[in-house]
Structure 1
Amino acid sequence: MLDENKVVVAMSGGVDSSLTAALLKEQGYDVIGITMQIWPSDEAPEDNEGGCCSLSAVNDARRVAHKLDIPFYVVNFQDSFEETVINNFKNEYAQARTPNPCVVCNKEIKFEAFLRKAKELGAYYMATGHYAKIERTAERNLLKRATDPKKDQTYMLYNLTQEQLEHTLFPLANYKKTKTRKLAKEYGLKRVYNKPDSQEICFIPDDDYPRFLKEHYPDIIEPGPILDLEGNKLGEHDGLPFYTIGQRKGLGLETHKRWYVVELDADNNAVIVGDNEDVFAKELIAKDLNWIATAKLTEPKEVDAKIRYNAPAAKATIYPIEDKVKVVFKEKQRAITPGQSIVFYDGDLVVGGGLIKE
């Protein structure tokens, strides 16, 4: 029997998860803190102030738990993380797609493996420091944008299932980041209240993707031709994983014309380049869909759609096609990138989302 007064907080050593634990304890919950060890300790950075995988981050989380007088554990999720997040990262790049490992981590680790661990400890709830709202109705558990649009993280959370939403708390849903830091300081969380936000992927703390791929997966990197849209060879590329749709700089082409990457052709190991207008498109196909506001999309629906985390939402109509959707934008969008997520909104409500296939 799960205890509805018990909650396990995913503590990264940052200000958001630290304040989450403090707020829940003040609200009367029986709080347990867990830091997920997801990267081999011999490869984790020792001191990465903004990161969530470093040894200093674990120590910061432990200090906060001690300050709050709550139980604290470090739980090993290394195998699961490598099997899901790291392998997906490698496989997507190997197929000339641009992955979003944070989306995969939320789906497979933070709200799947972590929730299982929380339930093993008898907790009805798990909690994180994400900025997003959960609204529970008689029909469905809904996901909505956070109060602070600058911090809203619903784009990264579109894969949450009804079961996961039922057992998740987001205490920071209505806070702005300035308020979060102010409260953390008032709670006496001295080392974390002004800690910088993590900007990079946790397992690549220096944000150097090429270095990481060269060191760990050299077999997926193969030089090949750079072609224009007519198939004329303009030069050589260093490996498809080093390029992304819309890229202009770093192509190494000896020409006065400005070329932009418009396609990564995995079948022919070719980078296809064209003019800037060739980077824009009005339609896409999305797969691996998850619906939150509805059980299934049965008819066309007008939505606001985001094709990347920092992109503004754009007006679009989505059309169900078997297990996929066709997305038609009102205006052309720049650099629609296979492998990235697309998330559909109806106002502040997250309708659902999926992966951009083509």
Structure 2
Amino acid sequence: MRILVAMSGGVDSSVVAGLLAEQGHEVVGATLQLYDHGAAAKKKGACCAGQDIHDARDVADRLGIPHYVLDREQVFRREVIGDFADTYARGETPIPCIRCNQTVKFRDLVALARDLGCEALATGHYARRVEGADGAELHRAADPARDQSYFLAATTREQLGFARFPLGGYPDKAAVRAVAARLGLAVADKPDSQDICFVPEGRYDSLVAKLRPDAVAPGEVVHADGRVLGSHAGIARYTVGQGRGLGNASWDGDERLYVAGVDAGRRRVVLAPRGALESAEATLGEVNWLVDPPDAPRRCTVKLRAREVPRDAVVAWDADAGLARVTLDVPGIVAPGQACVMYDEDRVLGGGFLRVAGTVDRARAAA
């Protein structure tokens, strides 16, 4: 096959390119330039800019494959970085890796692959694409510690049919690095990407302040029962479930408090005891189904965060409203803006973005 490989400059995508070339495929490498070269060159563990582009080109040269660099800075700034800041300004918690996969990576790279006459797009994601009776299915990776199926839940069925994930069956990252060493790739020992790639030194609030100054305007910190506990320096610094960085408002007597909600309209951060944050219900918008939407409530498991263990739930699809209603067997913390991904064992059924925060149990909060 002629295959386009998304090469970020890291070990994973480099191994994918090497393996496919070794198998006899006609491999074409493509790297997205997503943000400023200069800023990225100073940040270790970044991707898609600076030194990483040079690393990707060096790997392509080593493998003897053509390599293209695509400037997608403006699109990335608008659809990923802009969405990141807007989400915080709404009092929600963004998940930029999903937005990036959903837009510049799969949408734009699939289009490029087709323009180049490629039959598939391969990436270094840790997930498995399985051919099922009704077409391609997305499954969790063999290594649960590195599984990235959660971040691919917004991939459309058409994109999934075109995609390949050669690393999904590998037992761990050490095995992938061993392949890189065998292939003689200079990136074999390169560190993994860390944190959010476009946020220098992890200071996301500084980035949000530049794009949405209203999100770092001061306001009140209040208890769920209405008491004013103090003040804050911007809602962008808080997310549902957060227990750190609350200063003197961290405790109510001898009880620890957590962020239960962010009221962007009134610039209020609402705190409550942890147990009062938990909700058994959630609503999902922008739902992407990788199966036919269920016409009746369906039992499955869901992940409300990337690194949590899937929890039992029932999902009901409201086609008229375009929303999925999730009922959890065991209540959990629902953070608006984050993704909720639905699974049937290892298979991804679909996913969406959490739209409604868990209702704070005011009786428990005041107890």
Range of TM-score over shorter length? over 0.9
Q: Please, which of 6, 31, 35 is the counterpart of residue 10 of structure 1? A: 6
Gaps of 5+ in 2: 357-367
| Aligned equivalents of 1:241, 1:20: Cα separation in 2 | 37
> Relative to 1, partners in 2 of residues 1:91 and 1:308: Cα closer, same or farther, differing over 3 Å?
same
Q: 2:16 is matched by which residue type in structure 1?
A: T
SS of the equivalent of 2:295 reads coil
Inter-partner Cα distance in structure 2 for 1:169 and 1:81: 23
Task: Map 1:341-352 to 2 at 5 A.
Answer: 341-352=339-350
| CA distance in 2 between partners of 1:277 and 1:256 (Å) | 14
Match of 2:173 in 1: 177
Query: Is contact 1:53-1:203 (8 Å) kept?
Result: no
> Counterpart of 2:138 in 1: which secondary structure?
strand
Distance 1:264 1:105, change over 3 A: same
Identity over aligned pairs, percent: 38
CA apart distance, 1:264: 0.6
Off by >6 Å, runs of 4+ in structure 1: none
Bigger CA drift: 148-157 or 75-84?
Answer: 75-84
Aligned CA RMSD, in angstroms, stands at: 1.4
Task: Give the AA of the match of 1:162.
Answer: R
Q: What amino acid is aligned across from residue 209 of structure 1 in structure 2?
A: Y
Alignment of 1:102-181 (within 5 A): 102-175=97-170, 176-181=172-177
More helix by share: 2
1:80-109 Cα deviation digits (max 9, x unpaired): 111211111111111111000000000011
Structure 2 equivalent of residue 321 of structure 1: 318
Residue in 2 that maps onto 1:23: 19
Q: Which amino acid aligns with 2:354?
A: I
Aligned length: 350
Which TM-score applies when normalising by structure 1? 0.94
Task: Give the secondary-structure state (helix, strand or coil) at the position aligned to 2:37.
Answer: coil
Q: Partners in 1 of 2:180 and 2:212 — Cα distance? A: 41
Do the aligned partners of 1:303 and 1:346 also contact (CA within 8 Å) in 2? yes
SS of the aligned residue for 2:286 comes to strand
Which residue does the alignment assign to 1:261? 259
- Report the alpha carbon displacement of residue 110 of structure 1 after superposing the two structures with TM: 0.8
- For residue 82 of structure 1, the aligned residue among 48, 58, 77 is 77
- Amino acid of the structure 2 residue aligned with 1:16: D
After superposition, the C-alpha distances for 1:201-246 in whole angstroms (9 at most, x for unaligned) are 1111412112222244324321111111122211111111100112
TM-aligned CA deviation for residue 140 of structure 1: 2.6
Q: CA deviation at 1:321?
A: 2.5
Which residue of the partner structure matches residue 304 of structure 1? 301
Matches within 5 A, 1:180-199: 180-190=176-186, 192-199=187-194
Task: Give unmatched runs, 5+ long, in structure 1.
Answer: none
Q: Which residue identity lines up with residue 72 of structure 1 in the other structure?
A: H
Which range moved further: 109-118 or 206-215?
206-215
Partner of 2:359: none
Matching residue of 1:332: 331
Secondary structure of the residue aligned to 2:313 is strand
Distance 2:79 2:62 in 1: 34
Partner letter of residue 342 of structure 2?
A: F
- How far apart in 2 are the matches of 1:234 and 1:276? 17
Q: Which amino acid aligns with 1:301?
A: R
